[in-house]
């Protein structure tokens, strides 16, 4: 028995799962590697909690979690490419399954000790079952990047505003008849009409459900259709993010972004009963728009794609970047006219520009003067560093 005051080691947990497989019939049918992979994920979550990185893991229902099964051993997958669009894989306890071939995999004559498939994961979402392969690949060290340096300001009007004017816009900022921002901007008109019809059906059918009564199959089917449309919109947004960040990583050597705390930016403005908030509906719409743009995911993609190509991602402190005039360098109250317009109120300046572009220029200016935000112990520490321009940069 493990001591009550001692943290359970992964070896002890593995022994427990082996005993459970011997005692419980349905666990013995499950592949041993899949059960061990779930156990390792759970153990890793507790290790992150003990180290103070995240909160302790809690129970998640199957509705709020993504169903997934690991296949840790890649040698049993036997991946074969049938033709250009399709491939075949051997899934344990299932057999040969066809999957859509979306990117190159080291199979056949291209597989060796350095480049091979080490495992896979089966994932089920609102659009069906998918398989993701883990690939071990030997990559050469990236050379020096010959691109320029650029500052980026993330926003809602312009998703990625660049300091050189090469703004990245997905062209999806549409408005409804009431003038509010469209929260389903990644769906076309037919899909929006279908989503509205399904949401009305779900609301109508939910009225007939008594408290504590099980939900009907029709309502479950309606919820599945709504989740499918939402997942399709999310996938289109992620596709735009990947293509855009790849193009930026190929073009620029140094990308400078703001050190943002998105959780604080999307905090509700309801307030309390004693002190109710103001403009709650407008703030809720802004929070929804920020969450849909997924700024943190965009920065994460930029970081690893720049590292693969020899580039660098730098973060600078965010306060003051939207109020400062990038032309004269002064911060004058009232210069930020609106969400999209900046007009410098300093006497003799009168610089007028897009507010996001002005902020992107200020972001790059902070990097050039050496003001860099360095993450330390869960908080951002601002340090002034000496910037050395690479000899190969243009």
Q: Region 14-18: what's the mean pLDDT? A: 80
Q: How, if at all, do strands 252-259 and 148-154 pair?
A: parallel
Check residue 263 and give its pLDDT: 78
Q: How confident is the model at residue 247 (pLDDT cuts 50, 70, 90)?
A: very high
pLDDT over threshold 90, residue 244: yes
Check residue 386 and give its pLDDT: 55
pLDDT over threshold 70, residue 15: yes
Q: How confident is the model at residue 252 (pLDDT cuts 50, 70, 90)?
A: very high
Give the model confidence (pLDDT) of 284-327 as tens digits.
777 777 787 888 899 999 999 999 999 999 999 888 888 888 88
pLDDT over threshold 80, residue 60: no
Q: Is the pTM for the entire model greater than 0.75?
A: yes
Structural element, H or E, at residue 136: strand 128-136
Beta-carbon contacts of 148 under 8 Å, excluding residues fewer than 6 positions away, are 164, 251, 252, 253, 254, 393, 394
**Distance between terminal CA atoms of the chain?**
64
DSSP lists the bridge partners of residue 153 as 161
Phi, psi of 352, rounded to the nearest 5 degrees: -125, 130
- Please tell me whether residue 291 adopts helix, strand or coil conformation: helix
Beta-carbon contacts of 368 under 8 Å, excluding residues fewer than 6 positions away, are 387
Phi, psi of 385, rounded to the nearest 5 degrees: -115, 160
Residue 287: burial class (beta carbons within 10 Å; 0-12, 13-18, 19+)? middle
Check residue 392 and give its pLDDT: 43
């Amino acid at each position: 028995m493990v001591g009550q005051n001692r943290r359970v080691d992964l070896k002890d947990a593995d022994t427990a799962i082996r005993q459970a497989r011997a005692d419980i019939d349905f666990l013995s049918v499950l592949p041993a590697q899949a059960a061990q992979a779930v156990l390792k994920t759970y153990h890793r979550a507790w290790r992150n909690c003990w180290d103070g990185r995240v909160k302790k893991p809690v129970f998640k229902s199957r509705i709020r979690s993504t169903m997934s099964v690991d296949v840790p051993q890649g040698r049993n997958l036997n991946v074969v490419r049938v033709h250009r669009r399709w491939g075949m894989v051997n899934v344990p306890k299932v057999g040969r399954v066809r999957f859509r071939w979306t990117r190159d995999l080291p199979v056949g004559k291209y597989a060796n000790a350095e480049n091979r498939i080490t495992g896979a994961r089966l994932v089920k979402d609102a659009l069906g079952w998918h398989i993701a392969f883990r690939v071990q690949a030997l990559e050469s060290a990236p050379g020096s990047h010959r691109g320029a340096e650029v500052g980026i300001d993330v926003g809602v009007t312009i998703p990625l505003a660049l300091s050189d004017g090469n703004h990245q816009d997905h062209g999806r900022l549409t408005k409804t008849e009431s003038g509010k921002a469209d929260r389903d901007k990644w769906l076309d008109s037919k899909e929006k009409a279908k989503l509205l019809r399904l949401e009305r059906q779900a609301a109508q059918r939910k009225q007939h459900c008594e408290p504590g009564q099980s939900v009907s199959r029709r309502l479950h089917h309606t919820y599945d259709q709504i989740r499918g449309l939402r997942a399709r919109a999310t996938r289109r947004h992620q596709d735009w993010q990947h293509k855009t960040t790849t193009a930026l990583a190929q073009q620029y050597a140094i990308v400078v972004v703001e050190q943002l705390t998105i959780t604080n930016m999307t905090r509700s403005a309801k307030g309390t009963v004693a002190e109710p908030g103001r403009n709650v509906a407008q703030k809720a719409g802004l929070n929804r728009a920020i969450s849909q743009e997924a700024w943190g995911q965009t920065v994460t993609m930029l970081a690893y794609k720049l590292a693969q190509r020899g580039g660098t991602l730098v973060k600078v402190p965010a306060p003051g970047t939207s109020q400062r005039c990038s032309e004269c360098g002064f911060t004058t109250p009232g210069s930020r006219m609106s969400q999209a317009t900046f007009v410098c109120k300093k006497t003799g300046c009168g610089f007028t520009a897009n507010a996001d572009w002005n902020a992107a220029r200020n972001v790059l200016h902070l990097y050039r003067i050496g003001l860099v935000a360095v993450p330390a112990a869960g908080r951002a520490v601002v340090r002034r560093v000496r910037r050395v321009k690479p000899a190969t940069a243009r």
